[in-house]
């Protein structure tokens, strides 16, 4: 609760909204103790007194009633009615939504048909019909406003509930013997409640406007009782001659609704966990660069990553996802980068072309050189010209990485046209040829398919075709087969292998699977906690691993054909990269670790092409 309030008031606008709203609420609560005149006493002699006139701080209305008194009483009424309507609508609507979403099937169908029916009305028609039937009056206006808002809550909450009801913890609760009522109340409701509060806080202002609107039309509060809406409605005929009678209640409505909206946004932001981690900011076109320290000298490699450091800045924490990684590939070479999740292998790969999502990603050191040219401080346009043209990517999940609303043909053609001036027919022919190159059958007809019309394996072939579109020099493949079934994986891997041999492509292959690197890569680099701990030719690293981590990680992987057995395990967990220990990051899990291991930075050392970052390596290299 305290953290919630802290988060809420860190948002300065929300704080302003909160203060204004609190002031208004206090003001209307102490009405009985204020020296106010009776709001309903008419004095026609004193009509349309200007503000600051004698005895009437903000003047009088067309019947000579004190405007300040009417304003405060009206505010109280408007607030009470608006909030009640919101509460009623939220309670009923959420209950309907939860029931429909949880039970699904026929219950859901019938309820949602009804809700859709109500939403088929422009809301005011429904409200007008209700008021027409029940007769004008504030209570009836309240009922009408609450009723028209029930469907909005029902639909909103149903959507959330459907998502939650499909989650595994609901299944787990059923397996633990809980009944439906208990699941709804103890498993679902606590998870839905923040959404209900968000929906309420963002609609309460709207409901105050709606009730004020009905009163403005003369269908809400009836004279002499007046809420802010009816005050405006009554003042309208004197708008031109005595504008203050309209402006004052109008500004009050505006202040109330504005402060509620500001506060509501603050509540939404404070309750939405995605916003807390900064995930809702959109990634920029290139990763931010704040480079400190020396920039390494150019080399003659095709692509060289040099002492690269990439961090994530989330709130006050700094996650050192990549902490000084150096890698290089030559034409026709396949380099495997292997590591567990959080080892920084994907971030290394994405840093090359400035594709790390930023915010929160920041490149803080090192260089990435393509044919000697530093890409880290390249301007956007020259980086863009190399993206997909000289260095291309293949990503993990081909369903989410292809645009769902463009045909694969359009996406291939776009890849070509972003770098070459080429006619429509020519580019289409080229796209068909690319599809044939990745062995997609019936390329001529498949080219007009959308991604969702293809299988996972076919989609990944499209991903590869797109990477090949401009005959790049380097392909960076980030776990390209992880989302695929093994039989499909085997085909994709052999396709990649054939392509690189035919075209002399350099490939950087990111994976967590030793079997895959063993089959495809010439050299491998093993990463742990953002750094390379060992590198060398594939066979040597796999046969005689030098770093204890590599050796024990290989032992953890069950191999087909080994029969039933106990497996080796590494105790403990990989470290979180916002709080790395000094010295070797693997030391806490290593049975060979000594005091020196924990003391200071350990260099990657060895005789090229082999190197290891360990004081007590398993093999001498």
The residues in 19-78 that bind other proteins, with binding defined as CB under 8 A, are none
Question: In the complex with other proteins, which residue's Cβ is closer, 46 or 412?
Answer: 412
Residues 80-139 binding other proteins (CB under 8 A) are 113-114, 116-126, 128-134, 136
Of 77, 50, 10, 500, the residue nearest 253 (C-alpha): 77
Q: Which of 19, 36, 247, 621 binds other proteins (CB under 8 A)?
A: 247
> How far apart are CB 117 and other proteins at their closest, in Å?
4
> How far apart are CB 322 and other proteins at their closest, in Å?
17
Question: In the complex with other proteins, which residue's Cβ is closer, 162 or 178?
Answer: 178
Q: Binding segment for other proteins among 63-71, 229-237, 361-369, 370-378 (CB under 8 A)?
A: 229-237
Q: Does 340 bind other proteins (CB under 8 A)?
A: yes
Count of residues of this chain found to bind other proteins when the rule CB under 8 A is applied: 144
Give the CA angle between residues 581, 584, 587 to the nearest 5°. 85
CA atoms of 282 and 143, how far apart (whole Å): 41
Q: Does 222 bind other proteins (CB under 8 A)?
A: no
Question: In the complex with other proteins, which residue's Cβ is closer, 30 or 555?
Answer: 555
> Residue 614's Cα: distance from chain center in Å?
39
Question: In the complex with other proteins, which residue's Cβ is closer, 279 or 599?
Answer: 279
CA atoms of 534 and 185, how far apart (whole Å): 52
Residues 164-203 binding other proteins (CB under 8 A) are 167-169, 171-179, 182, 186-187, 190-191
Q: Does 578 bind other proteins (CB under 8 A)?
A: no
* Count of helix runs (H) and strand runs (E) in the chain: 23, 12
Question: In the complex with other proteins, which residue's Cβ is closer, 236 or 426?
Answer: 236
Question: In the complex with other proteins, which residue's Cβ is closer, 49 or 246?
Answer: 246
> How far apart are CB 71 and other proteins at their closest, in Å?
14
Sign, CA torsion 127/129/133/137: positive
Q: Does 386 bind other proteins (CB under 8 A)?
A: yes
Of 65, 580, 552, 126, the residue nearest 317 (C-alpha): 580
Whose structure tokens read 């459907």? Answer: 162
Q: How far, CA to CA in Å, does 52 sit from each of 55, 67, 244?
A: 8, 11, 11
Question: In the complex with other proteins, which residue's Cβ is closer, 90 or 130?
Answer: 130
CA atoms of 59 and 145, how far apart (whole Å): 32
The answer to whether 323 touches 580, Cβ cutoff 8 Å, is yes
Q: Which of 59, 205, 336, 365 binds other proteins (CB under 8 A)?
A: 205
The answer to whether 526 touches 535, Cβ cutoff 8 Å, is yes
Burial class (CB in 10 A: 0-12, 13-18, 19+), 5: exposed
Question: In the complex with other proteins, which residue's Cβ is closer, 274 or 600?
Answer: 274
> How far apart are CB 123 and other proteins at their closest, in Å?
5
Of 497, 588, 580, the residue nearest 531 (C-alpha): 580
Question: 573 phi and psi, to 5 degrees?
Answer: -130, 155
Question: In the complex with other proteins, which residue's Cβ is closer, 99 or 131?
Answer: 131
Question: 529-548 mask for other proteins (x: CB under 8 A)?
Answer: -------------x------
Residues 272-311 binding other proteins (CB under 8 A) are 279-283, 285
Whose structure tokens read 């309750």? Answer: 271
Q: Which of 388, 480, 530, 575 binds other proteins (CB under 8 A)?
A: 388
Q: Does 2 bind other proteins (CB under 8 A)?
A: no
Q: How far, CA to CA in Å, does 354 sit from each of 286, 311, 382, 395?
A: 5, 13, 12, 15
Got the DSSP string for 522-569?
A: SEEEEEETTEEEEEEEHHHHHHS--SHHHHHHHHHS--TTS-S-----
Q: Which of 110, 568, 594, 599 binds other proteins (CB under 8 A)?
A: 568
Residues 481-500 binding other proteins (CB under 8 A) are 485-491, 493-495, 497
Residues 429-448 binding other proteins (CB under 8 A) are 441
Question: In the complex with other proteins, which residue's Cβ is closer, 566 or 603?
Answer: 566
Q: Which of 456, 537, 583, 588 binds other proteins (CB under 8 A)?
A: 456
354: alpha, beta or left? (left if phi > 0; alpha if psi -120 to 50): left
> How far apart are CB 54 and other proteins at their closest, in Å?
26
Q: Does 566 bind other proteins (CB under 8 A)?
A: yes
> How far apart are CB 480 and other proteins at their closest, in Å?
13
Q: What is the DSSP letter of 593?
A: -
Cβ-based neighbours of 406, under 8 Å, separated by 6 or more: 414, 450
Q: Which of 558, 581, 582, 609 binds other proteins (CB under 8 A)?
A: 558
CA atoms of 407 and 259, how far apart (whole Å): 46
Q: Does 591 bind other proteins (CB under 8 A)?
A: no
Got the DSSP string for 281-301?
A: SPPPSS-EE---SPPPPP-SS
Q: Binding segment for other proteins among 316-324, 367-375, 399-407, 599-607 (CB under 8 A)?
A: 399-407
Q: Does 426 bind other proteins (CB under 8 A)?
A: no
Torsion of CA 10, 13, 15, 18, to 10 degrees: -150
Question: In the complex with other proteins, which residue's Cβ is closer, 233 or 606?
Answer: 233
> How far apart are CB 45 and other proteins at their closest, in Å?
27
Q: Does 344 bind other proteins (CB under 8 A)?
A: no
Type and span of the H or E element at 508? strand 506-511
Q: Which of 30, 110, 185, 573 binds other proteins (CB under 8 A)?
A: 573
Q: How far, CA to CA in Å, does 92 sit from each of 70, 82, 152, 186, 486?
A: 33, 16, 11, 19, 50
CA atoms of 465 and 184, how far apart (whole Å): 48
Q: Does 421 bind other proteins (CB under 8 A)?
A: no
CA atoms of 388 and 424, how far apart (whole Å): 19
How many beta carbons lie within 10 A of that of residue 471, not counting itself? 10
Question: In the complex with other proteins, which residue's Cβ is closer, 170 or 432?
Answer: 170
> How far apart are CB 469 and other proteins at their closest, in Å?
7
Q: Does 567 bind other proteins (CB under 8 A)?
A: yes
Q: Does 262 bind other proteins (CB under 8 A)?
A: yes
Question: In the complex with other proteins, which residue's Cβ is closer, 327 or 465?
Answer: 465
């Amino acid at each position: 609760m305290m953290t919630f309030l802290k988060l809420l008031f860190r948002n300065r606008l929300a704080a302003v909204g909160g203060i204004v709203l609190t002031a208004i609420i206090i003001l209307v609560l102490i009405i009985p103790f204020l020296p106010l005149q009776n709001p309903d006493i008419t004095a026609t002699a004193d009509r349309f007194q200007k503000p600051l006139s004698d005895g009437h701080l903000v003047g009088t209305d067309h019947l000579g009633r004190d405007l300040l008194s009417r304003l405060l009483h009206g505010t109280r009424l408007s607030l009470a009615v608006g909030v009640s309507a919101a509460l009623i609508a939220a309670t009923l609507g959420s209950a309907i939504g939860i029931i429909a979403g949880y039970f699904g099937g026929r219950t859901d169908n019938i309820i949602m048909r009804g809700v859709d029916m109500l939403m088929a009305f422009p809301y005011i028609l429904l409200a007008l019909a209700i008021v027409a039937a029940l007769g004008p009056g504030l209570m009836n206006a309240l009922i009408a406003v609450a009723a028209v808002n029930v469907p909005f809550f029902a639909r909103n909450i149903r959507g959330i509930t459907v998502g939650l009801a499909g989650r595994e913890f609901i299944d787990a609760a059923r397996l633990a013997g809980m009944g439906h009522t208990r699941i709804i109340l103890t498993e679902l409701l606590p998870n839905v409640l923040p959404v209900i509060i968000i929906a309420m806080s963002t609609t309460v202002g709207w409901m105050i406007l709606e009730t004020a609107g009905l009163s403005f039309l003369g269908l809400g509060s009836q004279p002499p009782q007046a809420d802010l809406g009816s005050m405006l409605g009554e003042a309208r005929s004197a708008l031109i001659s005595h504008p203050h009678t309209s402006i004052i209640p109008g500004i009050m409505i505006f202040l109330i609704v504005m402060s509620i909206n500001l506060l509501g946004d603050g509540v939404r932001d404070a309750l939405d966990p995605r916003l807390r981690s900064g995930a809702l900011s959109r990634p920029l076109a290139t990763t931010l660069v704040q480079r400190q320290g020396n920039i390494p000298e150019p080399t003659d490699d095709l692509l060289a990553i040099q002492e690269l450091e990439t961090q994530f800045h989330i709130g006050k924490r700094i996650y050192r996802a990549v902490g000084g990684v150096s890698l290089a590939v030559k034409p026709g070479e396949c380099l495997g980068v292997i590591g567990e999740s959080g080892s920084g292998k994907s971030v290394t790969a994405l840093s090359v072309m400035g594709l790390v999502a930023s915010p929160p990603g920041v490149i803080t050191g090192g260089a990435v050189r393509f044919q000697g040219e530093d890409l880290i401080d390249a301007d956007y346009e020259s980086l863009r010209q190399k993206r997909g043209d000289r260095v291309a990517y293949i990503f993990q999940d081909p369903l989410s990485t292809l645009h769902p609303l463009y045909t694969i043909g359009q996406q291939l053609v776009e890849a070509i046209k972003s770098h070459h001036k080429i006619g429509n027919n020519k580019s289409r022919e080229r796209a068909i040829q690319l599809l044939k190159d990745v062995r997609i059958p019936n390329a001529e007809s498949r080219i007009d398919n959308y991604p969702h019309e293809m299988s996972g394996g076919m989609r990944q072939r499209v991903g590869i075709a797109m990477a090949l579109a401009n005959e790049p020099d380097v392909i960076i493949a980030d776990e390209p087969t992880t989302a695929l079934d093994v039989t499909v994986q085997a085909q994709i891997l052999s396709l990649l292998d054939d392509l690189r041999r035919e075209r002399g492509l350099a490939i950087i292959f990111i994976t967590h699977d030793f079997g895959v690197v063993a089959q495809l890569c010439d050299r491998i680099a093993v990463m742990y906690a953002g750094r390379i701990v060992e590198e060398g030719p594939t066979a040597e690293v796999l046969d005689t691993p030098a770093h204890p981590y590599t050796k024990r990680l290989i032992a953890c992987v069950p191999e087909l054909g080994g029969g039933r057995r106990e497996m080796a395990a590494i105790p403990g967990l990989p470290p979180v990269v916002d709080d790395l220990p000094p010295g070797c990051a693997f030391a806490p899990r290593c049975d060979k670790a000594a005091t020196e291991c924990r003391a200071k930075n350990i260099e990657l050392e060895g005789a090229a092409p082999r190197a290891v970052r360990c004081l007590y390596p398993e093999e001498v290299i």
